[in-house]
Structure 1
């Protein structure tokens, strides 16, 4: 999954659905994340691309429904809040044909993220593909409002690059906007505490370290999940700019330990608020810890843990249909 330059500047307005009006995003500069060295050959960093004469500022991904000759065809543009639904979509090439071959990255052909406009609800899904190229996965969104669907994939075709395509999704029902959760250094989920240290600095690479503990004891036996000990997705408040990074090192490389620390390096060229979602696996279950971060400000050590509504950011099992 490409993260050398993997972010979008998303600006869109989702008009009223079922009598409900949704918020309008603002456009910002793209967010850039540095790729761990273990993945540089497949996913070069912006600096490496510049050395080869490539552009460090790719067209924004995630905000576009079509890019590089591929289109995200969302067959399910609306669902009903609080009810399970089958989310169906197809990735089509420039000729309108369904793409049927993908490169496996981090154990999956395609990764799907669904996030609400207010960044309170988050789902990291792994849909299944039928022989005709149609993808589908169950989804249950707890609240009415506007959502963004991100499909992260690489077609298995010569010269194809990793893409993140985005489409709008509406959940019908009574709608009440919610404020962005407050900034906090610790998130609590299913009895686990995850502590975030570091500063997200505009224009400069910085380390974000997440430390997992349970009952006051560090968790030193995290399990590999999609080829890593943790996955981090960052979404910028206001425009839902999308960044999917992976930790430094990987299981089995001889140096990376299975916890309690999982570190990431990222650069945010614009000021603002970001919502971070960490997926980690322990005791056979994948859980999600969520944080709000303000750029240029160290995460407050003394801040108390936040307890997300389980319906807003649930964990998932190994059935491939998580969050």
Structure 2
């Protein structure tokens, strides 16, 4: 199985909060593109609408400090809520949340009501500007491709930005050490993840979303989203220690990477910063 990303976008219609300073040489922030009336961000998961499909929410704000049942719909080209979605990566929809400084990552799998309303049970969010993404494949009409739509919401209160950790090729989580290496490959990047515990290779990875890992990456300058699964075939609870991803990270600079994997029924989320030249 080889899954290379899932990204989509046009221009968000909900204004973002104050942008972070862009890295030199990076494209403008989403708000700058919106002001200029351009389509900056096409193909990067930064839009509320694409190909007639629209991510609609009842509010532009989320309360701080407590769990929230965040409701939204996906409307189709006819303006009606979409109620038929294809199952991909074992779910009908993948929902992501991340703050502008790339902290607070959440990856959820809500279920729709019969009227097409989705409810994502968000854990408590800290004050600041957050981007919320819906990743899905509509099972109606002529569109059979994966779409990733997003909107920004504001969580009230004093936002305390967290500096992005420096690039590193390894990190630890729940006693596991995860190493991630990137190298150019056919115009993209090949990412290799190696997982160990107490210096010993881990070989008991369990399937998670039809693969032995799920990788989500967010671009530092604008929160562009890339997500992918390893190319390694799944064969029971015997994954690891090395997983290979064929990644398309279309912009240079720093990406905050979240690698999720499962052992003994427990999901682990490793975080590190990856620099792409």
> One fold, TM greater than 0.5?
yes
The DSSP-based 3-state class of the residue aligned with 1:278 is strand
| Structure 2 unmatched runs, 5+ | 29-40
Note the C-alpha offset of 1:137: 2.0
Q: Which residue of 1 aligns with 2:61?
A: 78
Rounded Cα–Cα distance in structure 2 between residues aligned with 1:289 and 1:171: 25
Q: Which residue of 2 aligns with 1:262?
A: 243
Rounded Cα–Cα distance in structure 1 between residues aligned with 2:235 and 2:3: 21
Rounded Cα–Cα distance in structure 1 between residues aligned with 2:60 and 2:160: 20
| Structure 1 unmatched runs, 5+ | 29-57, 297-323
Q: Which residue of 1 aligns with 2:6?
A: 6
Distance 1:153 1:24, change over 3 A: farther
Q: Which residue of 2 aligns with 1:27?
A: 27
Note the C-alpha offset of 1:217: 2.2
1:197 aligns with 2:181: yes
The DSSP-based 3-state class of the residue aligned with 1:210 is strand
Most deviating of 207-216 and 58-67? 58-67
Q: Which residue of 2 aligns with 1:285?
A: 266
Note the C-alpha offset of 1:269: 4.2
**Residues 76, 89 of structure 1: 8 Å contact kept:** no
**Residues 61, 163 of structure 1: 8 Å contact kept:** no
- TM-score computed with the length of structure 1 as normaliser: 0.72
Structure 1 residue runs of 4 or more that deviate by more than 6 Å after TM superposition: 9-13
Rounded Cα–Cα distance in structure 2 between residues aligned with 1:66 and 1:202: 31
Distance 1:220 1:203, change over 3 A: closer
Q: Which residue of 2 aligns with 1:60?
A: 43
The DSSP-based 3-state class of the residue aligned with 2:62 is strand
The DSSP-based 3-state class of the residue aligned with 1:80 is coil
Q: Which residue of 1 aligns with 2:114?
A: 131
Rounded Cα–Cα distance in structure 2 between residues aligned with 1:156 and 1:61: 22
The DSSP-based 3-state class of the residue aligned with 1:111 is strand
CA RMSD of aligned residues (A): 2.7
- TM-score computed with the length of structure 2 as normaliser: 0.84
